[in-house]
Structure 1
Amino acid sequence: MISTLSFILIGLIAGVLSGLFGIGGAIVIIPALVFFKGFPQLKAQGTSIIAMLPPVGIFAFLQYYKKGNVDITAGIIICIAMLIGAKFGAQIANIIPINILKKAFGLFVIFVGIKMFLGK
């Protein structure tokens, strides 16, 4: 029961931040699963991907669409490119050493945070 509640809490936090900031949720879900639930990095990444598909793809989109904040053409193009990129990214993630993958993810999050904080 406690495990289920912790997954619900992780999902709620990731959902709120996804809707609020437009993030994919992985920036919340992956570290939470690794640090609080003891998931290995790859299992956390795979779980994050399946968890984000329905809620981010449907309800958050509808809210932004209702307010005219969606470029359908750009979204479709990005979606198709993501399908291709995600396939190759997952293949690469499953062959590189886990310690390198964790460090790369951490550096990516730091870089994005600094870039967002400092602006252009």
Structure 2
Amino acid sequence: MTEIIIFIAIGLAAGMLSGMFGVGGGIIIVPALVFFAGMSQHTAQGTSLGLMLFPIGILAAWNYYKAGHLDIKAGLLIAAAFVIGGYLGSKLSLTINQLTLKRIFGALMLIVAIRLIFFSK
């Protein structure tokens, strides 16, 4: 049950940030799956591609699936929550002025970069 909650939270957060900033898989979902769900980097990347399968990454996701690095359950749960989060994030983003939005996005990228560089195992 905890795993399902983590996947739904990742989907909602990634959807909201996607709706707000136009980002998703590489910058949000992959690090979240590594840090919060304990996935390997390869499985996180494969799962991220899997949830965005149509039309974005079907062939790339297929390669990860064949190599055993795609968690289908996680991908489906995150994708469902991503739709809701994307809607909510886009609504929120449209209420924030452009300069503030750029600064929030820049801070988010900096936090993710610092975490990947200094706190990865």
Which TM-score applies when normalising by structure 1?
A: 0.53
Q: How does 1:12-23 map to 2 (within 5 A)?
A: none
Unaligned ranges ≥5, structure 2: 1-22, 28-51
**TM-score, normalised with respect to structure 2:** 0.53
> Corresponding residue for 1:110?
110
State the 4+ residue runs in structure 1 displaced beyond 6 angstroms: none
- Give the structure, 1 or 2, with the largest relative contact order (CA under 8 Å, sep 6 or more): 2
Amino acid at match of 1:60: A
Percent identity for Structure 1 against Structure 2: 39
2:61 is matched with 61
Instruction: Compute the displacement of 1:26 (Å).
Output: 7.4
- Aligned equivalent of 2:45: none
Give the distance between the partners of 2:26 and 2:116, measured in 1 at CA. Answer: 17
**Residue ranges of structure 1 left out of the alignment (5+ in a row):** 1-22, 28-51
Name which one, 1 or 2, has greater alpha-carbon Rg: 1
CA RMSD of aligned residues (A): 2.5
CA contact (8 A) 2:53 2:61 kept: no
Contact 1:24 1:56 in 2 (8 A): no
**CA separation of 1:78 and 1:25: change in aligned 2, threshold 3 A:** closer
The answer to whether the aligner puts 1:74 opposite 2:87 as a matched pair is: no
The answer to whether structure 1 residue 86 and structure 2 residue 86 are counterparts is: yes
CA distance in 2, matches of 1:26, 1:70: 15
C-alpha separation between the residues in 1 aligned to 2:62 and 2:107? Answer: 32
CA distance in 2, matches of 1:54, 1:109: 26
Number of equivalenced pairs? 74
